[in-house]
Amino acid sequence: MTHRILLSIALLLPMILEAKTLNIAMKQHMQSFYPIQQSPGDSNFIRNLVVPPIIAINQNQQWTCIICSHLPKLSNQGVEVFEEPDENGFIMVSHWQISRRYQWDDGKPLSGFDVKFTIEHMKKQGHHFPELKITINHKNPRKFSMWMKEARPDFYQTLAISLLPHQKAQLLKAISRNPKQANQQISLSQGLSYGPYRLEQDSKTMTLRENRYYQGLKNDFKSIHITFVNSAKDLFRALKSGAIDMVADGELDYDDIKPLLSDNKIKSQWKLAHSLSPTTDILYFNLRNPYLADQQVRNAIFHSIDRESLLSDIFDNYGSVAPIPPFLGSAYPSRASDYQLLKARRILSSSGWQLIDGERIKNGARLKLDLVYHRTTLKHKIASRIRSNLAASGIIVQLRPMKSVEAVLEQVRKGLYKDMALLSLKVFPDMPLKSLFHSEYIPNSENDYYGWNLGFWNNKRTDRVLDEISQAFDEGERRKLMQRFSQIYQEDLPAVPLLIRPHFGILNTNLVNVHFPGHGYHSSLFSSGWSTLEDDDKGIF
């Protein structure tokens, strides 16, 4: 269960045990903790304690139902797939039952009406869902069925969401109109939480109080007190003063923790927890560019980039070199981190790109590529390293930093970027591959630039395999198809995944049996286990 990780806080300093309060500092904005606005799979540390998801992925990267009596599957007749669509066009139905252990903090039971209301609320905010309907058993509203017009084995993602109470529709509508007041109104109202805690807050702090109606696994803390700060410097100031017991996971980047490495006082009292974040940095190619449409040029670029050194220089080997293809997880083989500069040079020369005065020339044209990216310190470091790596092969890279992520995405989605783009994507396990790699998800004016096939990868073999994956309910068959897709991606290399970024949290050395979730997403809470550096060769820091 998710809460075996989220709620495994057992021991702390004696005075904290006596007070039964855990003190945490966070930089995140208070507005983000209640899911007035959410996407499937989206979450954070606090939300999981207040409104946990319907379903999530466990440490074995398998789906599990957090608030249900069982997980619907073909094998337990929880899922039915029809040979022909019924009279209303539905071809698949899944049957769900919410556990009695979960109740809203005013004592009302969770129900299928809450599920239906939550999805309708999200649709009004512009979230895309497969065409579906929800029917509810009126004799037992904890039972509901989800009908779909497309047989999709990845349908679990639809319910990787936190629930909103249908009986609070008017209040939630008012909060949606004024999100800045969301947490204040939530803390004054009952019936909005169903996890082990409910929210209370003032202007600068938030307290999670026990939900007395919650019947699931609990921990020793009657309350969790959260102080919000503006910067990493404020977090460290609070650490040194002893005012907090923990900095929550995902609050600190690598640049934030650098001061800790030279502060002996902090090192003696605190330990660093680290794990993989859901963010992957990827070098995208515009495959409509005639140079980059050449698979040999893409392979030369891949062999020119030293991803291992990039990880070492940027993150001191925290995080990970990204698997190829990205987003499949450790269950599938990855193309090796194959930095071979001599091989890259040979590939370019054999493709007609001759090295003349340190530059690659073919038919009088220079192999000069633009690289667009969001202008941040981290992105500029990565982009600069790519430029120097490719220069060693004779490929000239012109850096094109842009002021905002939105500006970069507009360039990429509309195909306005000339050659290459450096993007950071947040993903979660079992993310539908079709929306990322199928040619029908190439952004264009006809689909209002919707879809995440951002490099315009148009490969018929890929499309066929992705179509088959989207219909494969048998686990063995699905794994074989995923391996076939992985092989095609590694051969064609439509983009170069670079790094998976690290996440950090800080714990008092006297705080034990605390395990952060591996990612900030509902559907990946178990996918990466946290560790403390005292268990590593490096010692505590």
Whether residue 67 contacts residue 243, with contact meaning beta carbons closer than 8 Å, is answered with no
Please state whether beta strands 197-201 and 143-148 pair in parallel, antiparallel, or not at all (unpaired).
unpaired
Taking the CB of residue 45, how many other CB atoms lie within 10 A of it? 21
CATH of the domain at 213: 3.40.190.10
Backbone angles phi, psi at 458, to 5 degrees: -125, 90
| Residue whose tokens read 């109109």 | 177
Q: Are residues 444 and 487 in the same domain?
A: yes
d(CA 415, CA 455): 8
Q: Exposure of 458 by Cβ count < 10 A (0-12 exposed, 13-18 middle, 19+ buried)?
A: middle
The answer to whether position 541 is within a domain reads no
Max alpha carbon distance in the chain (Å)?
80
Helical ranges in 470-530 per DSSP H: 475-492
Same structural domain for residues 402 and 470? Answer: yes
- Of 148, 167, 186, at which residue does a domain stop? 167
Q: Is residue 246 part of a domain?
A: yes
- Give yes or no: residues 28 and 119 share one domain: no
Residue whose pair of structure tokens reads 């990429």 in the numeric block = 412
Four-CA torsion 343, 348, 352, 356, nearest 10 degrees:
-110
Chunk the chain into consecutive blocks of 10 residues (it has 541) and report each block's average pLDDT, rounded to whole numbers.
Answer: 36 44 77 76 76 79 83 90 92 94 93 96 85 94 95 86 93 79 70 87 76 80 84 81 79 76 73 80 96 97 97 91 82 78 97 96 96 95 98 98 93 92 81 86 84 91 94 85 93 95 80 54 37 35 28
In single-letter form, the type of residue at position 480 comes to K
Q: Which of 536, 527, 517, 524 shows the shortest CA–CA distance to 45? A: 517
Q: Give domain status of residue 381, yes or no.
A: yes
Note whether 509 and 495 are same-domain residues: no
Of 167, 196, 220, which one is at a domain's C-terminal end? 167
249 and 142 within one domain: no
Q: What's the pLDDT score for residue 429?
A: 60
Return the H-helix or E-strand segment holding 264. Answer: helix 264-269
Tally of residues, the chain: 541
In a domain, 289, yes or no: yes
Tokens of 170: 């008017």
**Domain termination site, one of 167, 196, 217:** 167
pLDDT of 184: 66
Tell me phi and psi for residue 207, to 5 degrees: -125, 135
- Tokens read off for 508: 């008092």
Place of tokens 């902090």: 266
Residues 148 and 233 in one domain: no
**What was the pLDDT predicted at 373?**
97
Give the CATH number, domain containing residue 146. Answer: 3.90.76.10
Terminal-to-terminal C-alpha distance of the chain: 31
Other CB atoms within a 10 A radius of the CB of residue 106 amount to: 16
- Total structural domains in the chain? 3
The 3-state secondary structure of 341-403, one letter per residue: HHHHHHHHHHCCCEEECCEEEECCEECEEEEEEECCHHHHHHHHHHHHHHHCCCCEEEEEEEC
- The predicted structure's pLDDT at residue 187: 67
The domain spanning residue 376 has which CATH number?
3.10.105.10
CA–CA distance, 187 with 207 (Å, rounded to integer): 9
410 and 339, same domain (yes or no): yes
Same domain, yes or no: 140 and 118: yes
Strand 495-508 versus strand 246-252 pairing type: antiparallel
Residue 248 lies in a domain: yes
For residues 116 and 227, membership in a common domain is answered with no
Residue 457's contacts (CB-CB under 8 Å, 6 or more residues apart) are: 287, 437, 439, 442, 492, 494, 495
Please name the residue ranges forming H helices in 99-244: 112-124, 169-177, 182-187, 232-241
Same-domain check for residues 202 and 335: no
Task: Return the pLDDT at 47.
Answer: 81
Cα separation, 488 vs 422, in Å, equals 22
| In a domain? residue 57 | no
Q: Give the pLDDT confidence score for residue 376 in this predicted structure.
A: 92
- Tell whether the torsion through CA atoms of 442, 374, 40 and 9 is positive or negative: positive
Give CB contacts under 8 A, 24+ apart, made by 122-127.
122/38, 122/39, 122/161, 125/37, 125/176, 127/39, 127/40
The verdict on 267 and 290 lying in the same domain is no
Residue 396 belongs to some domain of the structure:
yes
**At residue 116, what are phi and psi to the nearest 5 degrees?**
-60, -45
Rounded Cα distance between 430 and 276, Å, is 16
Q: Which domain holds residue 415?
A: 278-501
The angle subtended at Cα 127 by Cα 135 and Cα 449, nearest 5°, is 135
Measured N-to-C along each axis, helices 169-177 and 112-124 cross at an angle, to the nearest 10 degrees, of: 20
φ/ψ (deg, to 5) at 275: -165, 175
507 and 475 in a common domain: no
Q: Does a structural domain hold residue 127?
A: yes
Backbone angles phi, psi at 22, to 5 degrees: -105, 130
Q: To which residue do tokens 């315009």 refer?
A: 456
